[in-house]
A and B are shown apart, each in its own frame.
Chain A
Amino acid sequence: MNGKLYVARSSEIAARRLGEEMMIMSGRDSTLFTLNEVATAIWEAADGATALDEIVERDICPVFEVPLDVALRDAQSLTEELAGHGILLISDKPIQGSRSDPGPSGKG
């Protein structure tokens, strides 16, 4: 990954945590996604101000015991896919005005 990549949650979505997974519906095409624990951690940390590599290093590698290079590659692939559905915003600069709170979680 060359340079910093910033990711932010789009406000054009619906989202809720169901157990350990995050359910997200794209506002663009109503596609429903289930994010696993790792993807959920990235999505929840996507505040627009923290670079993706920092998120991965801080929230993914120590928790899920994944090597940094592998985690970073997977994270970039995931964020690009989610961005393609309008679920995440990606920029090489910090993203202003994005939500700082990922919203409540349903614990049942």
Chain B
Amino acid sequence: MQEMSAKALKLGIPLSVQLDLTYRCNEECVHCYLDHEDHGEMTTAEIKGLLDQLAQAGVFFLTLSGGEILLRKDFFEILEYARALLFSVKLKTNAVLIREQQAERIRSLGVEAVQISIYSHRPEVHDAITKVPGSLKRSLNAIRFLKARGLKVIVANVLMLQNVQDYPGVKALATELGVEMTIDPTITPKMDGDRGLLKLNVDEDALRQVFTDRTLVGNVEEFCAPPKKPGEDDLDSLPCSAGHTACYVSPYGDVYPCVQFPLPSGNVRRTRFLDIWHNSDQLNEVRSITARDLPSCSQCTHVVSCTRCPGLAYMEGNMRGPSTQDCEKSFARTGIPSVNLMSKKSSAPPLVQIQGISPAVPAGLAGATQMRA
């Protein structure tokens, strides 16, 4: 895979594309970053035309996501078309609408993997997050239908305040079902920039618990080891694949570097995909950025091992800036604050308000509070 990615990077080929077919959804998850209203989704013909263009551009990995993809009446027509073009197709779905008939169709079309969101092994928790009673039961039934047909199923467990203690239960459930599991401890802002959802993010203690769980990370000492000193080559490295070998297309044809990087870079209804991919000023700007160009992060001890997301940094206001959520992860993992976190701490207003009320507050505790602000 690394060799394939390196070759795609060298040739300027978008190896992976996520295409959201719709933002409509039959669940109303409390942490969802999308606007579920339909503002004019691409038609079946437009999507087929786009898939032709993506194949011509060299896209190999195609993720069909949403919203809930099965809400599109033409979903299987689109999937069949995509497979005829020989994409490796992965589906992201809540699977509520997948019964035996749909599972059989998905198998017959040679889908590579189906990723299904499961928030808890407890219906009262999962269904409270999706706001759909019975949704856990239906999603689990779908997993069984798919698994029985030999499909690769991945349970995606997004962690938030509501379910942070349930991931061991989800893991046990995944093991029982014979499927893979991924954990994502990052709640992202809404695509319109509203950061209100971030209050659902798990706290530092919970992150540390996840990062020191041997059953999840393997070698904890290695995973949580202090960061290595960067070499010269490290500073020339690229932040991630967004805009380099991957991009995202919305149901309205808007092209972005990544689903988590809402930098409008063109629209396939007006411009051919390859023209956007090669000539978009926005994508070319993203491509021009190496670790060396990140004013704060290039000076940070975590620069080599940080999971910094340029999209989250962009949503914080600067695509060359730090992604504070990733700074917090690096801190929870290693106990070493990032340059960004230390800067936030040092630029915090002096505690003049509490002088004379509680002068004995230890600076360290005050600092810790500021770091999570």
Contacts of A91 in B (CB 8 A): none
Question: Given that A11-B110, A14-B112, A16-B86 are known contacts, is A106 also in contact with B4, CB under 8 Å in the complex?
Answer: no
- Find out whether the CB atom of B58 lies under 8 angstroms from the CB atom of A14: no
Contacts of A16 in B (CB 8 A): 55, 58-60, 86-87
Most buried by A among B12, B55, B58, B112: B58
Instruction: Please give me the residue from chain B that is nearest to A25 by CB atom.
Output: B88
Instruction: Please give me the residue from chain A that is nearest to B10 by CB atom.
Output: A19
Most buried by A among B8, B56, B86, B88: B86
Contact residues of A between 8 and 31, Cβ < 8 Å to B: 11-19, 21, 23, 25, 27, 30
B148 CB-CB contact with A under 8 Å: no
B360 CB-CB contact with A under 8 Å: no
Interface size class of A (residues with CB under 8 A): 20 to 34
- Find out whether the CB atom of B7 lies under 8 angstroms from the CB atom of A18: yes
- Find out whether the CB atom of A106 lies under 8 angstroms from the CB atom of B58: yes
Contact of B60 among A11, A12, A14, A108 (CB under 8 A): A14
Contact of B56 among A32, A34, A104 (CB under 8 A): A104
B13 CB-CB contact with A under 8 Å: yes
- Find out whether the CB atom of A103 lies under 8 angstroms from the CB atom of B112: no
- Find out whether the CB atom of B57 lies under 8 angstroms from the CB atom of A13: no
Contacts of B60 in A (CB 8 A): 14, 16, 18, 23, 25, 106
B152 CB-CB contact with A under 8 Å: yes
CB proximity of B297 to chain A, nearest CB, Å? 30
Question: Given that A25-B112, A106-B13 are known contacts, is A18 also in contact with B86, CB under 8 Å in the complex?
Answer: no
Contacts of B88 in A (CB 8 A): 14, 25
Contacts of B61 in A (CB 8 A): 14
Q: Mark B298-330, 1 if CB is under 8 A from A, else 0.
A: 000000000000000000000000000000000
Contacts of B12 in A (CB 8 A): 108
- Find out whether the CB atom of B58 lies under 8 angstroms from the CB atom of A13: no
B3 CB-CB contact with A under 8 Å: yes
Q: List 20 A-B contacts (CB under 8 A).
A: A11-B110, A13-B110, A14-B60, A14-B61, A14-B87, A14-B89, A14-B112, A15-B86, A16-B59, A16-B60, A18-B8, A23-B60, A25-B112, A27-B110, A27-B112, A30-B112, A105-B56, A106-B57, A106-B59, A107-B56
A residues in contact (CB < 8 Å) with B: 11-19, 21, 23, 25, 27, 30, 32, 34, 103-108
B residues in contact (CB < 8 Å) with A: 1, 3-4, 7-8, 11-13, 52, 55-61, 83, 85-89, 110, 112, 152
